Protein backbone atom coordinates (compact mmCIF):
# COMPACT_ATOMS: atom_id res chain seq x y z
CA UNK A 1 0.00 0.00 0.00
CA UNK A 2 1.11 3.61 -0.58
CA UNK A 3 3.29 5.36 1.99
CA UNK A 4 2.24 8.79 0.69
CA UNK A 5 -1.28 10.10 0.13
CA UNK A 6 -1.83 13.29 -1.84
CA UNK A 7 -5.28 14.50 -0.73
CA UNK A 8 -6.75 17.44 -2.67
CA UNK A 9 -9.70 19.77 -2.78
CA UNK A 10 -11.06 22.50 -5.03
CA UNK A 11 -8.06 24.75 -4.39
CA UNK A 12 -5.75 22.68 -6.59
CA UNK A 13 -8.04 23.32 -9.58
CA UNK A 14 -8.57 27.02 -8.85
CA UNK A 15 -5.68 28.05 -11.10
CA UNK A 16 -7.18 26.01 -13.91
CA UNK A 17 -10.13 28.39 -13.77
CA UNK A 18 -12.48 26.06 -11.87
CA UNK A 19 -14.41 27.70 -9.01
CA UNK A 20 -13.81 26.59 -5.45
CA UNK A 21 -16.79 26.35 -3.10
CA UNK A 22 -16.15 28.53 -0.04
CA UNK A 23 -13.65 31.13 -1.20
CA UNK A 24 -15.06 34.57 -1.97
CA UNK A 25 -16.96 34.22 -5.23
CA UNK A 26 -17.08 30.45 -4.80
CA UNK A 27 -19.90 28.22 -6.01
CA UNK A 28 -21.77 28.25 -2.72
CA UNK A 29 -22.04 32.04 -2.92
CA UNK A 30 -23.80 31.72 -6.28
CA UNK A 31 -26.06 28.73 -5.63
CA UNK A 32 -28.06 27.39 -2.66
CA UNK A 33 -26.62 24.01 -1.65
CA UNK A 34 -30.08 22.87 -0.60
CA UNK A 35 -31.38 23.46 -4.14
CA UNK A 36 -28.79 21.55 -6.16
CA UNK A 37 -26.47 19.55 -3.93
CA UNK A 38 -28.50 18.04 -1.10
CA UNK A 39 -30.15 14.61 -0.80
CA UNK A 40 -33.63 14.80 -2.33
CA UNK A 41 -32.95 17.74 -4.65
CA UNK A 42 -33.42 15.52 -7.71
CA UNK A 43 -36.93 14.72 -6.53
CA UNK A 44 -37.88 18.29 -5.59
CA UNK A 45 -35.79 20.31 -8.06
CA UNK A 46 -34.63 17.95 -10.81
CA UNK A 47 -34.43 20.36 -13.74
CA UNK A 48 -32.31 23.00 -11.96
CA UNK A 49 -30.09 20.30 -10.46
CA UNK A 50 -29.46 18.58 -13.81
CA UNK A 51 -28.83 21.96 -15.48
CA UNK A 52 -26.32 22.91 -12.74
CA UNK A 53 -24.20 19.80 -13.33
CA UNK A 54 -24.62 19.98 -17.12
CA UNK A 55 -23.17 23.52 -16.92
CA UNK A 56 -20.27 22.48 -14.66
CA UNK A 57 -19.56 19.53 -16.96
CA UNK A 58 -19.52 21.78 -20.02
CA UNK A 59 -17.42 24.32 -18.10
CA UNK A 60 -14.51 21.91 -17.53
CA UNK A 61 -14.35 20.89 -21.22
CA UNK A 62 -11.80 23.58 -22.13
CA UNK A 63 -10.11 23.81 -18.73
CA UNK A 64 -6.50 22.70 -18.60
CA UNK A 65 -4.55 21.02 -15.81
CA UNK A 66 -2.18 23.48 -14.12
CA UNK A 67 1.45 23.09 -13.06
CA UNK A 68 0.45 21.47 -9.77
CA UNK A 69 -1.58 18.73 -11.50
CA UNK A 70 1.30 18.12 -13.92
CA UNK A 71 3.94 17.88 -11.18
CA UNK A 72 1.78 15.35 -9.36
CA UNK A 73 1.55 13.30 -12.54
CA UNK A 74 5.36 13.27 -12.74
CA UNK A 75 5.47 12.14 -9.09
CA UNK A 76 3.08 9.29 -9.92
CA UNK A 77 5.36 8.26 -12.80
CA UNK A 78 8.43 8.34 -10.55
CA UNK A 79 6.83 6.52 -7.60
CA UNK A 80 4.08 4.33 -9.10
CA UNK A 81 3.72 2.17 -5.98
CA UNK A 82 4.32 4.73 -3.23
CA UNK A 83 1.84 7.52 -3.85
CA UNK A 84 -1.99 7.39 -3.79
CA UNK A 85 -3.85 10.34 -5.30
CA UNK A 86 -7.19 11.03 -3.60
CA UNK A 87 -9.41 14.01 -4.38
CA UNK A 88 -12.68 15.58 -3.30
CA UNK A 89 -12.84 17.18 -6.75
CA UNK A 90 -15.21 16.02 -9.45
CA UNK A 91 -13.32 17.63 -12.34
CA UNK A 92 -10.96 15.74 -14.69
CA UNK A 93 -7.84 17.90 -14.35
CA UNK A 94 -5.75 15.05 -12.94
CA UNK A 95 -6.91 12.75 -15.72
CA UNK A 96 -6.11 15.43 -18.33
CA UNK A 97 -2.63 15.73 -16.78
CA UNK A 98 -2.18 11.98 -17.31
CA UNK A 99 -2.64 10.87 -13.70
CA UNK A 100 -3.99 7.36 -13.15
CA UNK A 101 -6.05 5.61 -10.49
CA UNK A 102 -7.39 8.88 -9.08
CA UNK A 103 -9.79 8.20 -6.20
CA UNK A 104 -12.68 10.68 -6.55
CA UNK A 105 -14.44 10.70 -3.18
CA UNK A 106 -17.38 12.89 -4.19
CA UNK A 107 -18.03 11.56 -7.70
CA UNK A 108 -16.94 12.52 -11.20
CA UNK A 109 -18.66 15.17 -13.33
CA UNK A 110 -18.27 13.27 -16.63
CA UNK A 111 -20.20 10.24 -15.37
CA UNK A 112 -23.93 9.73 -15.08
CA UNK A 113 -25.27 6.89 -12.94
CA UNK A 114 -28.49 4.97 -12.37
CA UNK A 115 -29.48 5.26 -8.71
CA UNK A 116 -31.43 2.00 -8.99
CA UNK A 117 -29.18 -0.51 -10.78
CA UNK A 118 -25.81 1.25 -10.61
CA UNK A 119 -25.34 1.56 -14.39
CA UNK A 120 -22.64 4.18 -14.97
CA UNK A 121 -21.62 5.88 -18.23
CA UNK A 122 -19.03 8.53 -19.10
CA UNK A 123 -20.89 11.11 -21.20
CA UNK A 124 -17.85 13.33 -21.61
CA UNK A 125 -18.76 17.03 -21.47
CA UNK A 126 -22.25 16.71 -22.93
CA UNK A 127 -25.57 17.25 -21.19
CA UNK A 128 -27.52 14.42 -19.61
CA UNK A 129 -30.44 15.19 -21.95
CA UNK A 130 -28.22 14.85 -25.05
CA UNK A 131 -27.20 11.41 -23.79
CA UNK A 132 -30.50 10.08 -22.46
CA UNK A 133 -32.63 10.68 -19.39
CA UNK A 134 -33.41 7.06 -18.61
CA UNK A 135 -31.21 4.10 -17.72
CA UNK A 136 -30.81 1.75 -20.72
CA UNK A 137 -30.90 -1.21 -18.33
CA UNK A 138 -33.80 -0.52 -16.00
CA UNK A 139 -35.34 2.68 -17.38
CA UNK A 140 -34.96 4.55 -14.06
CA UNK A 141 -34.07 8.25 -14.38
CA UNK A 142 -30.30 8.72 -14.59
CA UNK A 143 -28.49 11.28 -12.38
CA UNK A 144 -25.10 13.00 -12.18
CA UNK A 145 -22.46 10.78 -10.52
CA UNK A 146 -22.01 13.30 -7.70
CA UNK A 147 -22.33 12.73 -3.94
CA UNK A 148 -24.79 15.29 -2.55
CA UNK A 149 -24.77 16.49 1.05
CA UNK A 150 -26.71 14.01 3.17
CA UNK A 151 -25.99 11.10 0.82
CA UNK A 152 -23.65 8.21 1.55
CA UNK A 153 -20.09 8.52 0.17
CA UNK A 154 -19.02 4.90 -0.36
CA UNK A 155 -15.50 5.82 -1.52
CA UNK A 156 -14.67 7.02 2.02
CA UNK A 157 -14.15 3.35 2.91
CA UNK A 158 -11.28 3.29 0.40
CA UNK A 159 -9.89 6.56 1.79
CA UNK A 160 -9.60 5.06 5.27
CA UNK A 161 -8.14 1.84 3.87
CA UNK A 162 -5.33 3.85 2.25
CA UNK A 163 -4.83 5.88 5.43
CA UNK A 164 -3.98 2.68 7.32
CA UNK A 165 -0.60 2.54 5.51
CA UNK A 166 -0.08 6.29 5.07
CA UNK A 167 3.12 7.75 6.53
CA UNK A 168 3.11 11.13 4.78
CA UNK A 169 -0.20 12.92 4.13
CA UNK A 170 -0.01 15.84 1.70
CA UNK A 171 -3.14 18.05 1.73
CA UNK A 172 -3.58 20.57 -1.07
CA UNK A 173 -6.42 23.04 -1.56
CA UNK A 174 -9.15 22.06 0.89
CA UNK A 175 -10.79 24.08 3.66
CA UNK A 176 -11.48 20.92 5.67
CA UNK A 177 -15.15 21.76 6.21
CA UNK A 178 -16.44 18.51 4.72
CA UNK A 179 -13.66 15.99 5.37
CA UNK A 180 -11.83 16.63 8.66
CA UNK A 181 -8.21 16.83 7.55
CA UNK A 182 -7.04 17.02 11.17
CA UNK A 183 -8.55 13.59 11.72
CA UNK A 184 -6.94 12.35 8.50
CA UNK A 185 -3.56 13.69 9.66
CA UNK A 186 -3.80 11.62 12.87
CA UNK A 187 -3.14 8.52 10.71
CA UNK A 188 0.14 9.82 9.25
CA UNK A 189 3.62 10.29 10.73
CA UNK A 190 3.99 13.61 8.93
CA UNK A 191 1.50 16.00 7.27
CA UNK A 192 1.99 18.83 4.80
CA UNK A 193 -0.84 21.36 4.26
CA UNK A 194 -0.96 23.74 1.31
CA UNK A 195 -3.78 26.27 1.19
CA UNK A 196 -4.06 29.96 0.34
CA UNK A 197 -4.86 30.95 3.91
CA UNK A 198 -5.74 29.45 7.32
CA UNK A 199 -9.09 27.68 7.66
CA UNK A 200 -11.19 27.69 10.84
CA UNK A 201 -11.73 23.96 10.23
CA UNK A 202 -8.02 23.09 10.34
CA UNK A 203 -5.85 23.08 13.51
CA UNK A 204 -2.36 23.91 12.20
CA UNK A 205 -0.79 22.58 15.42
CA UNK A 206 -1.59 19.07 14.15
CA UNK A 207 0.19 19.68 10.85
CA UNK A 208 3.97 19.11 10.40
CA UNK A 209 4.44 21.73 7.67
CA UNK A 210 2.07 24.47 6.44
CA UNK A 211 2.52 26.33 3.15
CA UNK A 212 0.17 29.24 2.44
CA UNK A 213 0.76 29.81 -1.25
CA UNK A 214 -0.94 29.05 -4.54
CA UNK A 215 -0.57 25.34 -5.28
CA UNK A 216 1.43 26.07 -8.43
CA UNK A 217 3.92 28.07 -6.32
CA UNK A 218 4.02 25.49 -3.51
CA UNK A 219 4.18 22.28 -5.55
CA UNK A 220 7.94 22.28 -6.24
CA UNK A 221 8.64 22.46 -2.50
CA UNK A 222 6.06 19.73 -1.88
CA UNK A 223 7.61 17.50 -4.56
CA UNK A 224 11.01 17.99 -2.95
CA UNK A 225 9.60 17.05 0.47
CA UNK A 226 7.96 13.91 -0.95
CA UNK A 227 11.19 12.96 -2.75
CA UNK A 228 13.18 13.38 0.47
CA UNK A 229 10.59 11.53 2.53
CA UNK A 230 10.60 8.53 0.21
CA UNK A 231 14.43 8.55 0.31
CA UNK A 232 14.30 8.47 4.11
CA UNK A 233 15.35 12.08 4.67
CA UNK A 234 12.83 13.73 7.00
CA UNK A 235 14.87 16.90 7.66
CA UNK A 236 12.83 19.13 5.34
CA UNK A 237 9.69 18.12 7.20
CA UNK A 238 10.62 19.34 10.68
N1 LIG B 1 -3.80 27.03 -4.24
C2 LIG B 1 -3.91 26.37 -3.06
N3 LIG B 1 -5.02 26.41 -2.28
C4 LIG B 1 -6.05 27.15 -2.74
C5 LIG B 1 -6.01 27.89 -3.95
C6 LIG B 1 -4.81 27.80 -4.71
N7 LIG B 1 -4.66 28.45 -5.87
N8 LIG B 1 -7.19 28.54 -4.09
C9 LIG B 1 -7.94 28.22 -3.02
N10 LIG B 1 -7.26 27.41 -2.20
C11 LIG B 1 -7.69 26.79 -0.95
C12 LIG B 1 -8.44 27.73 -0.05
O13 LIG B 1 -7.53 28.33 0.87
C14 LIG B 1 -9.42 26.79 0.66
O15 LIG B 1 -8.82 26.31 1.86
O16 LIG B 1 -8.58 25.76 -1.30
C17 LIG B 1 -9.59 25.61 -0.30
C18 LIG B 1 -10.93 25.55 -0.97
O19 LIG B 1 -11.88 25.22 0.01
P20 LIG B 1 -13.38 24.86 -0.45
O21 LIG B 1 -13.83 25.88 -1.43
O22 LIG B 1 -14.15 24.63 0.81
O23 LIG B 1 -13.26 23.50 -1.27
P24 LIG B 1 -13.12 22.03 -0.69
O25 LIG B 1 -12.38 22.04 0.63
O26 LIG B 1 -12.52 21.19 -1.77
O27 LIG B 1 -14.65 21.57 -0.45
C28 LIG B 1 -14.82 20.24 0.01
O29 LIG B 1 -17.22 20.57 -0.14
O30 LIG B 1 -18.93 21.51 -1.33
C31 LIG B 1 -18.30 20.31 -1.02
O32 LIG B 1 -18.24 18.33 -2.29
C33 LIG B 1 -17.75 19.64 -2.25
O34 LIG B 1 -15.68 18.42 -2.49
C35 LIG B 1 -16.25 19.63 -2.01
C36 LIG B 1 -16.14 19.73 -0.49
Topology classification of domain 4-17+65-106+152-230: Rossmann fold (3.40.50)
Task: Report the b/e string of 147-164 with b at 16+ CB within 10 A.
Answer: bbeeeebeeeeebeebbe
Domain positions in the chain: 4-17+65-106+152-230, 27-62+110-146
Report how far ligand 1's centroid is from the alpha carbon of 9 (Å): 5
Q: Is the pTM of this model over 0.85?
A: yes
- Residue 210 Cβ inside 6 Å of ligand 1? The answer reads no
Q: What pLDDT digit, counting tens, does each position of 58-91 carry?
A: 999 999 999 999 999 999 999 999 999 999 999 9
- Residue 107 Cβ inside 6 Å of ligand 1? The answer reads no
Instruction: Please say whether the dihedral angle defined by the alpha carbons of residues 24, 105, 85 and 96, taken in this order, is positive or negative.
Output: negative
- Residue 121 Cβ inside 6 Å of ligand 1? The answer reads no
Q: What pLDDT digit, counting tens, does each position of 5-50 carry?
A: 999 999 999 999 999 999 988 888 888 999 999 999 999 999 999 9
Helix (H, G, I), strand (E, B) or coil at 215: helix
Report how far ligand 1's centroid is from the alpha carbon of 137 (Å): 36
Q: d(Cα 201, Cα 135) in Å, to the nearest integer?
A: 39
Confidence of residue 236 (pLDDT cuts 50, 70, 90): low
Hey, which residues are catalytic here?
A: 106
Find out whether 110 and 122 touch, Cβ atoms under 8 Å.
yes
Q: Does domain 27-62+110-146 have CATH number 3.30.1490.100?
A: no
Q: d(Cα 118, Cα 126) in Å, to the nearest integer?
A: 20
Residue 220 neighbours by CB under 8 Å, 6+ apart: 71
Query: Which of the pair, 28 or 224, is modelled with greater confidence?
Result: 224
Amino acid sequence: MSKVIIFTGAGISAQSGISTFRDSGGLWEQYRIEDICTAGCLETNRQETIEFYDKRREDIKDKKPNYAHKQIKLLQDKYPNSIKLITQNVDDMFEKAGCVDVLHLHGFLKNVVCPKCGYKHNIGYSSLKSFQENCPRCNCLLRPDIVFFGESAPKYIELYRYLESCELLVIIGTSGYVIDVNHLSSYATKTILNNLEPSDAIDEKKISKVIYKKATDAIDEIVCDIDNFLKGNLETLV
